[in-house]
Structure 1
Amino acid sequence: MKINFIDLQAQYKRYEKEINSEVLEVMSSAQFIGGEKLNSLERGLASYTGAKHAIGCSSGTDALLLSLMALDIGVGDEVITTPFTFIATAEVVALLGAKSVFVDIDEESYNIDPTKIENAITSKTKAIIPVSLYRQCADMDAINAIAAKHNIVVIEDACQSFGATYRGKKSCNLSTIACTSFFPSKPLGAYGDGGAIFTSDDALAAKMRMLLNHGQNERYKHNYIGINGRLDAIQAAVLNVKLKHFEAEATAREEIGARYSDLLEDADVITPKIAEGNTSVYAQYSVRVKDREAMVAKLSTAGVPTAVHYPLPLHLQEAFADLGYSEGDFPVSEMVAKEIMSLPMSAFLSEAEQDFVVNAIKG
């Protein structure tokens, strides 16, 4: 049996006529930047999450960058985040000349541990970026309470959690600013790079809209030094179609993730734990195994693709050597990084395919 790690082909076939029609409308109109496709997407994203403003942009990375720029974060400032995430979370901090201050993760959720945040706060701390990793939201109420106490802004990195809920509220509407990614493999994925920023703060929304368009408030009048961070109309058209079907896909992902956990209950792996009050979109279905190399080899031989998100925490990456961290500083992140691996996952994974994966793990 051939199994795709993420079955984007099956998804396209399901929505092929709708997607082709929407994309051809963009081609016929020749309005490739901005326009009604983007406006429609932003309205849909805002409605879905409950945030007042949804702002389409060129990637999840640029969404994070624009958020920090809107807060005037730069040289001398500190941003607290997790070392167990994709590099973009801390990369954008470094690009602006600020400093990432890492805090270890909770062993069950793999998200930043709120009980360890306050000890990392200094007079230079300007923001906290909790990452809602893999599938579920970080403990945002606890994080927001700490931030409010110290007058710090929270930016939810929701690049893997669009569609998840936390205590009845949608990811991307849990803090002052939130960012998500529409990279093709995400639960809501475009056919290229794309992202969005969410906020209910009118002033921040207006500033970020200018920043993503070279700081313009109107054509050739620039209030700020900005970037070219626009989301193109073809990607917006694709996302409009997928957003219509997204809730059904999110439900399917949750059911498939729960079935994986049930089937793997007696296997020699640690399955994901979903916190009480949370729902998950399973951007990845990730398990922990003591001998990952052996498990990856066994599954590869059986024809089951896997991935590792992420094999080396950020504090041990050469790019962040100047921060002065060393091995042992964040033991939970380091342990999880050595054991974590992701299994095939999509809303279109059949029970037969899932059984095949599980049997390969147990075999």
Structure 2
Amino acid sequence: MTAHASDYTFADSVLLRIRGPRRLLKHFNAEYEEARTAPVLEPDIDVSIAFGGPADRLPGGAEVTGGHKTARWRVILGPPDARPLRAAIRLAGGPPSFALSLVQGYFVEALVAVALAGAERIALPAAAFADDGGATVVLGRSGAGKTTLTARALAAGRTVLSDDQVILDASGRCWRYPRRLRLYPDIEETAPQAWSRLTAGTRSTLHHRALLRRLTRGYVAPSLAVPASDISATVTSDPLPLRRLVVVERYENGEFTARPQPAAWVIGQAEELLAQQRARFAGAVSGAWTDTLDAVLQAERRTVSAALRGVQATSLAVPRAWGARRAVDTLDSYLGLT
């Protein structure tokens, strides 16, 4: 099978190369289209990917096998001190888009994070919005409402950077993470203005996924990757200075509260979220790769600490008992997005 390649640049500093058959490259070209760049001689990360086929172990590296639901993978990693960082990913099962999305999040973007750390940058699990010449960053785990808030802001004509990850450097500059939105069917209720801007085909697909989720009792419940431009073109790839950082948390009981927080608390929250995000990667490697991931976390801690100097940080506690619409309405109002 003939291999092709595409190159993508993250935050003007890290270059990722994906190699594989055209039908698989279509997935990554759709995901990172705005970050595509002309080929260079040497990328920072070089990943080959295919369904099936051989992949030889790389000296000094590691091998990871695993899967999730109907998707399986074998990942061959090169040594963590090599440049470029190398990985060969072999997939089985599917559907193909599902398998590709999983290894993208678990492995490809984990390698991007390692390279970013070497450039004194960090990919935070956060949404980011332009605000008074700077950026408001909303940090939170999956389900905090980051993507819904981003969809609302786009529909209202607000300028946004990212919905689920934002790249931050030590000087406090925020960069867009060049990836598609991840929408779920409840966007029809939680962000109706954004829903109305989606194409008829996208809305139909989301309705079908809602039906599939009910029929499988939640076993099959994938998100749908949608370009932000399907809602609005008010997305910026230019870096913005960090002005405000908000951490969203869900609690079992209580009321909605907003509390100022010291930088040390925010750093701890960021470390916890990053560790959760990389749990599958970190739990499957050992030796030099474990040491490297520990060093990456320390480098990221330094980056966040430096970026937060003089920045207002707040925690927002949202009762878990609230429905998605009420929770997002409250966050939207507090942040002044729409």
Structure with the bigger percentage of helix: 1
Same fold (TM over 0.5): no
> TM bucket by the smaller chain?
under 0.3
Greater relative contact order structure (CA < 8 Å, 6+ sep): 1
Structure with the bigger percentage of strand: 2
